[in-house]
Every structure is written in C-alpha cells, then in structure tokens.
Amino acid sequence: MRFMKVRSPCCQRIGFTLIELLVVIAIIGILGSLMLPVLSSSMLKARYINEVSSARQVMVAHRLYSDDNDGRVLPGYRYGFPAVDRQGNPIGHPINARYPWRIAPYCGNNFELLYSNKNRALLRSFQTDEESSYVYSASVFPSLGVNAVFVGGDDLILPPTSTAFNNFGKFCVMRDSDPRRPSELLTFASARARHGDRIAEGFYKVDPPYLTRRVWDLSWSASSSPEKFGFVHPRYNNRAVAAMFDGHVESLSTRQLQDMRHWSNLASGREWTLVRQN
C-alpha cells in the first residue's frame, strides 16, 4: 500500500498573501501621513530657533557697535559710512550703505551668523564668486532686515536730517538713549526679497507699513511681491522673528507687524503716520 507523505504545519512554507501585503502597505502609508505634519512642524520649529539665535547675536553686535561709537546707533541705510571687506579693503557705494559689512566686525566677520537656515546655501553660492562679487551679493540678502527708516536712518526713503526732524519730529532713533519703549521697538525682522527669478529668504532692510500713508498691502500673501509687505517675511506660521531694540527676540504675527508702535519711536497708535509739524 502506498502512503502519501503529509507535511506537518510547522514544515509548511510561511509567506504573505497579496491582501496582507496591501494591508501592511496601507498601514505604513497612514502612519507616514500622520507623521508628516509632525516632522514638518518640528523642522519649522528648528529653523525658527536657529533664526532666533542669530537674531540675538545680531543684537549683541548692534549693541557693541553703539558702545564702540559713543552711543550712536548702527546706521540703517546710510551713505558715506565706512566699511571694509574681509581683507580690510574699503567698500564703496552702495554696498557700504547696507548694514551687513558694517556690523560684520562685531560678529567676528562670520556671515553665517547673518545668513541662517535655507539662506545659508545662498551665501555659500556667493562664496564661489570672485571677491568683489561676493562682497556685493553678501550685503543684499541677510536673513534679517533692519528697520532703517526709524532705527539708524534710511537715506533712500527719508534721510534723518535736521530738516526732516524739523518737519516730522525726531522720528528716527540715532542714539541708544533715544527709544522711549526699547522693548517694543522693532530693530530687525525676518525678511525676503527677489533674487533673480526666485525669492531669497533675506534682505538688508524692512520697510514700515505706514509712512505719510499706508504703503503695505492690507494682508500678507506668500505669492505677492516682497515689497508689498515691506520685505517682511512671516515665514513661521504667519509670524516673523523680530529683534527688539533692548536685545530680546520674539515672534510677531502679521497683525502685530502692522502696528506702527513696533516701528516708530513716536508712534501713538497702530495706524500712526508721519505728519508735518509745520
């Protein structure tokens, strides 16, 4: 009599059916979709912390400049102030009108302090250029823009001359003893500007929402031109890093950023504007 050999269950080949594989893949996909927002939020938080750290060090350098210059505030966008490159060579206009090369000596000439997060890759691309091109480009796109009109002066928009002060009052902080509310006076903020055919996460200055009239769009839009929101970039869930005159750093919402009491030493309300006094 012929007997058939019967395999015991433990000897049978173990595998997965197609349905089981599909179920596993679906579970992995669901877990991935659940984790993606968490990872994205963590990465954004890390970039925010990195920019806050840079802002604090920039404010230390800002204070060191004042200490080294008899209490005068770092010029915002001013003509004729000296600046030198990495080799100590004098820098001409318009590069020396921007703040980066003037503050650089007080940052140990470490431009990676001024260019944080994604913007650091842009700085490294500049470093492949010849020195003169690097000096120019590095002055344009620091991650933080200075509130030049009201802190340090802006010769392009409203030069802080005696005539302007007679017309509008002492609207611009020129000395470290000038601010009435130093903890509320925005000095630097997250910025962005057009760089060729794309947008860079940085610019050398940020402009206020009001001058003699409102100049910003009514609301922030990532798709609008950077100047429509004064070059300010609320890149952290509609909030921007803001370095205040007293040295502390916080984040301001798009609504807070439009409050002129954060921009001008003289502002008495959200929609304050410059008004001629005579």
**Quick check: 22 pLDDT over 70?**
yes
Decide if 99 contacts 147 (C-beta within 8 A): no
Decide if 54 contacts 144 (C-beta within 8 A): yes
Q: At what angle do helices 119-126 and 131-138 cross, to 10 degrees?
A: 150
253 forms beta bridges with 239
Mean pLDDT for the stretch of residues 21-45: 73
pLDDT in tens, 156-205: 999 999 999 999 999 999 999 999 999 999 999 999 999 999 999 999 99
pTM: 0.86
Residue closest to 119 by CA, chosen among 40, 207, 199: 199
Residue closest to 236 by CA, chosen among 48, 13, 2: 48
The predicted pLDDT at position 103 comes to 97
The strand ranges marked E within 121-216 are 144-146, 186-190, 193-195, 198-200
Residue closest to 80 by CA, chosen among 90, 67, 72: 90
Long-range contacts of 208-211 (CB under 8 A, 24+ apart): 208/147, 208/149, 208/150, 208/260, 208/263, 208/264, 209/257, 209/258, 209/260, 209/263, 210/260, 210/263, 210/271, 210/272, 210/273, 210/274, 211/149, 211/157, 211/158, 211/273, 211/274
Euclidean distance between CA atoms 235 and 199, whole angstroms: 12
pLDDT, mean over the chain: 91
**Quick check: 255 pLDDT over 60?**
yes
Decide if 235 contacts 174 (C-beta within 8 A): no
The predicted pLDDT at position 59 comes to 98
The predicted pLDDT at position 4 comes to 53
Euclidean distance between CA atoms 81 and 196, whole angstroms: 28
pLDDT in tens, 153-166: 999 999 999 999 99
44 forms beta bridges with none
Decide if 101 contacts 83 (C-beta within 8 A): yes
pLDDT in tens, 265-278: 999 999 999 999 87
